[in-house]
Amino acid sequence: MIHFNDLKAEDIERIFYIPPEPYDSNWDRDTLSYALGATLYMPAHRPCIANDLITNKYKELTSMVICLEDAIGDHQVVEAEEALLLQLQQLESAWQTMSTIEKAGLPLIFLRLRSPEQFHQLIEKLMPFMMTGLLHGFVFPKFSLHNGEKYLQLLRQLNRSVRIYGMPIFETRDIMYKESRIDTLLALKALLGSYKEMILNIRIGATDFSSLFGIRRSPDLTLYDIVPMKDCIGDIVNVFGRIDDPYVLSGPVWEYFPTDNRVLKPKLREAPFERYGHQGLAFRRQLITRYIDGLIREILLDQANGLCGKTVIHPSHIRPVNALQAVTYEEYCDATTIVSNNDGKIGVMKSAFHNKMNEIKPHLSWAKKIITRSCIYGVLNETYDFTSLLGTEQYDKSSIE
C-alpha cells in the first residue's frame, strides 16, 4: 500500500519533497499504527464490498473496517455474518489470482465485532483469511474492564499462529462519566499494557459517548465544541498519549455526508486556494457547501490534541483526512533539525524559517512523530500544502469551472 497512490507520477514529483513510502502489514507496529489514516467503515451486509475492493473503486483507501456491530440491526446478525464470509471468500478467490501490485492496492481490512462471544464463534471460520494476510485485525467495540480481558485473550491465542492486531474502542459510560473516568482509564491502560504489542491503536467512540447525554454535534461544529466530549478526549490523551508509554489514538468519526445547508459562517480561508486562481476559489466554495470545511477543522483539532488518522463513513472524507496527515516542508525541516541536534550540545535554536524557536529536548518527541509521518504520508514541497492533495475527483465537478 501507499498513500496518494491515485496521483500521477508527475503530480507526486511536483507536490512532494519526499514522496510517501510503500508499506504493508509487515511494518513494525509502532510505525504501522500511524499509517491507517482515514479508516472507512462499511456494514458487513453491504453486498458489494468485495467487488468494490477488487475493482479498486476507492483508489485512495488504505484501511477499512467491516462492521458487525452498530451498523447491523440486532435481528440481522446471522445474515450479516453469512454475508461477511461470502464477501471474504469472494475476496480470497480474487486474491489468489492477483499480482503483487494488485494485492498492494488492497487496504488493510479489520473486522468490528459485537462481543467476545461472537469473536470466539467466528475465529475458526475467519482463520483462513487471516493466514493469507487478507484480514489484518479486529476492532473491539465498547471495550471495558468487563469484556476487555476476554477480547485480548482471544487475540493472543490467534497471535500464536498469525500476526493479527486489535483496536479497542473507548465508548462506555464509565469512561465518559467524570466520577469513574480516571480510575477506569488507568485500569484499562494497565490491562492493555500486557498485550501492547498486539494493539495497533485506540479508537474513540464519539457517537456512543454523545448518546449518553442525548446530544449530537451539528455539521457546523466539531467534537471539541461539545464540552463533555472535549473533556473526555482530553483525559484519554492524558492517560494514553504520554510519551513514556504512548499509544496511537485515532480521531473520532465525522458522521456527516456532504450537504448544502449550513448555519454558521465557514472558517476556511481563501488564501490556501488562491494559488489555483478561479478554479481554486470555486473548489473552496464546493468544500464549504459540502461541509468538508467542518471536517478539515476537526482533523486539525484532532492533530493539535495528539490524535492521528480518523474514522470515516463516506468515501469523500478519505482524501481530506489523509491530505492533512502529510508533513509540510517546514515541519520536516524543524523535525530533522531537532533530531540531528539531540546530542546535548545545543538547547535551543531558531527555526530556519525565522518564525519560531526549536527547543531540542521539549520538542524531540514531536519531531520523532513528524519523521514517522513523513515516511508514511510524505513531505510536501516548500510551496505546497494540504490543498494540493485534495483534488476535485470525489466532489461534484459541475460547479468547478
pLDDT tens-digit profile of 48-61?
Answer: 999 999 999 998 89
Does residue 266 share a domain with residue 220?
yes
Does residue 272 form part of some domain? yes
In a domain, 389, yes or no: no
pLDDT of residue 93: 93
Pairing type for strands 379-380 and 16-18 reads: antiparallel
Q: How many angstroms separate the first and last alpha carbons of the chain?
A: 33
Which of 325, 350, 369 finishes a domain? 325
Verify that 53 and 121 share a domain, yes or no.
yes
- Per-residue cell: 46: 453491504
User: What pLDDT, on a 0 to 100 scale, did the predictor assign at position 400?
Assistant: 33
Task: Identify the domain boundary among 296, 325, 354.
Answer: 325
Residues 79 and 180 in one domain: yes
> Could you tell me if 79 and 197 lie in one domain?
yes
Which three cell numbers mark 198? 498486539
In a domain, 395, yes or no: no
- State the Cα–Cα distance between residues 401 and 398, nearest whole angstrom: 7
Q: Which regions of the chain are under pLDDT 70?
A: 258-267, 270, 283, 285-286, 288-291, 391-401
* Structural domain span for residue 361: 330-377
Q: Which of 325, 341, 362 lies at the terminal end of a domain, its last residue?
A: 325
What's the pLDDT score for residue 96?
87
Q: How far is CA 125 from the centre of its chain?
A: 27
Judgement on whether residues 344 and 306 belong to the same structural domain of the protein: no
Q: Are residues 249 and 359 in the same domain?
A: no
Enumerate the β-bridge partners of residue 249: 202
Residue 4 maps to a domain: no
126 lies in a domain?
yes
CB 331 within 8 A of CB 370: yes
Residue 8 lies in a domain: no
pLDDT of amino acid 265: 62
Residues 217 and 348 grouped into a single domain: no
Nearest Cα residue to 25 out of 107, 94, 97, 102: 107
Single pTM value for the model: 0.90
Q: Are residues 371 and 292 in the same domain?
A: no
Statement to judge: residues 214 and 293 lie in one domain: yes
Cα distances (angstroms) measured from residue 112 to each of 86, 126, 375, 397? 16, 13, 28, 34
**pLDDT for res 301:** 96
Residue 384 forms part of a structural domain:
no
Q: Are residues 347 and 311 in the same domain?
A: no
Distance CA 271, CA 280 (A): 10
Q: Which residue has the cell 504493508?
A: 24
Q: Rounded to whole angstroms, how far apart are CA atoms 229 and 170?
A: 12
Q: Would residue 295 count as lying in a domain? A: yes
Residue 94 shares a structural domain with residue 226: yes
CATH number at residue 304: 3.20.20.60
Q: How many domains does the chain have?
A: 2
- Quick one: which of 199, 259, 261, 174 has its CA closest to 30? 199
pLDDT at 261: 61
Q: Tell how many helices (H) and how many strands (E) occur in the chain.
A: 18, 12
Q: Are residues 347 and 222 in the same domain?
A: no
